[in-house]
Amino acid sequence: MSSTVGQVIKCKAAVAWEAGKPLVIEEVEVAPPQANEVRVKILFTSLCHTDGQTPLFPRIFGHEAGGIVESVGEGVTDLKPGDHVLPVFTGECKECRHCKSEESNMCDLLRINTDRGVMLTDGKSRFSINGQPIYHFVGTSTFSEYTVVHVGCLAKINPAAPLDKVCVLSCGISTGLGATLNVAKPKKGQSVAVFGLGAVGLAAAEGARIAGASRIIGVDLNPDRFEEAKKFGVTEFVNPKDHDKPVQQVLADMTDGGVDRAVECTGSIQAMISAFECVHDGWGVAVLVGVPNKDDAFKTHPMNLLNERTLKGTFFGNYKPRTDIPGVVEKYMNKELELEKFITHSVPFSEINKAFDYMLQGKSIRCIITMGA
C-alpha cells in the first residue's frame, strides 16, 4: 500500500448531489490524512436510516463500514497501515471529561455532528471532484473506496474478523445491543419488552437473548416483522392496533404487573411513554434509544417514578468506540453474538441505490455493499 502514502488517491465514491435524488458514482480525489487523521480503504459498507438526512450538499454519505488503514497522519500512534478498523459516527478523543469518565461515551470533541461537513484539523474537506469540495458526513463518509477519518472515530479490531459481517457493528446493531446489555441490564430469567422491531430493536432483542431473558416481547405496528424477530429471541408479539386499551396496560396484564425491562427503539413519543409505563413498579427499567422529533415532549405522571420505576436514555448503546467496540467484535468471534441474521441483502457498490430501495421498502434489516464491485 506504501506507494500511495502522501499522495492524492483517485477512487470511486457515491455522491449525493441534492436531497432526495439517487446517489451518483463519481471519480473523486481523496487527499492524504492530516494531523490525527487516518486514510482508510473501505471494503464493505452498509446502509442505515440516518444516511441521507442532511441539509448540506454535495456530500458522501455512509457511516456503517469496515476497512483497512492505508496511511496515517502526523501524531497518530494507535494505528498503522494494514490495521483493520470500523469507522464510527461518534468518537473517543480519550482526553475530555466524557472520555475520562467511566459513565459516558459522549466525547466533547468527536460527538456526532450531522451538520459538519469538514475535518476538525483545518475545517476543510478531504474529498474533491475537479477542485470542487465534496462534504464529509458524520466524520466517516464510507460510500467511498477511500475515506479520511479522525483517529478517534476508528475502532481497531481483530484482523481475523470478517469485515463483511462485523461492519454492521459500527452503528445500529451496537446501539440496540448496548441499550440492553449496558443500560437496561436485564438479569437472567427476567422479561424484556422491545418497542420497534427494525434493525436496532432486533439488536436490542439479541441483547436480551444473550442476557438470558426468559420472555422477550416484541411490540410493533407491522405484523410482517414478527416472524423474522423470532430468530433474534423474541418469544411473544404485541401489535398495539389489535387492542382497544393502551399497550402498556396490555403488557402489564401479560406480565403480572409489568415487564422487568423495556427498550424503546422507534423514536415515537407515544412508544417512549408506553415503554416507561409498562415496566414493573419497584424495579422496572425503561431505556429510550429512538430519536424523537424536535418538538416532542415526554409526559407521564410523577407517581410512575416515585413508585420506583427508572427511565434511562442511551447514545450508541453506551459503548465507547475505541475502547469497547473491539470487545463487541470478539463477542461475535466467540459465537456469543450472531450477526449473519441481521444481514438480509448484499449488492455491489455500482448498485448502491438498490440498497436504498430495499431499506425504504422495509425489505432489508441490513444490506451489505461490497466496494470495488
What letter would DSSP give residue 259?
Answer: B
Three-state DSSP class for residue 145: coil
Catalytic residue, candidates 11, 167, 171, 367: 171
Active site residue 111: yes
Sequential DSSP letters for 306-342 = HTT-EEEE-SGGG--HHHHHHHHHHHHHTTSS--GGG
Active site residue 11: no
Catalytic residue, candidates 49, 236, 338, 351: 49
Phi, psi of 45 (to 5 degrees): -135, 160
Active site residue 301: no
Strand partners, 286: 262, 311
Catalytic residue, candidates 37, 45, 93, 225: 93
Catalytic residue, candidates 50, 90, 140, 175: 50
Catalytic residue, candidates 266, 322, 366, 367: 366
Catalytic residue, candidates 59, 84, 98, 111: 111
- Residue 364 grid coordinates: 432489508
Catalytic residue, candidates 11, 39, 59, 64: 64
Catalytic residue, candidates 39, 59, 63, 136: 63
Query: Are 122 and 136 within 8 A, CB to CB?
Result: no
Query: Are 139 and 108 within 8 A, CB to CB?
Result: no
Active site residue 366: yes
Catalytic residue, candidates 99, 167, 265, 278: 99
Catalytic residue, candidates 39, 45, 48, 150: 48
Active site residue 153: no
DSSP collapsed to 3 states, 76-132 = CCCCCCCCEEEECCCCCCCCCHHHHCCCCCCCCCCCCCCCCCCCCCCCCCCEEECCE
Sheet with 9-15, strands from edge to edge, namely: 9-15, 24-30, 127-129, 132-134
Catalytic residue, candidates 96, 235, 338, 344: 96
User: Catalytic residues, which ones?
Assistant: 48-50, 63-64, 93, 96, 99, 107, 111, 171, 366
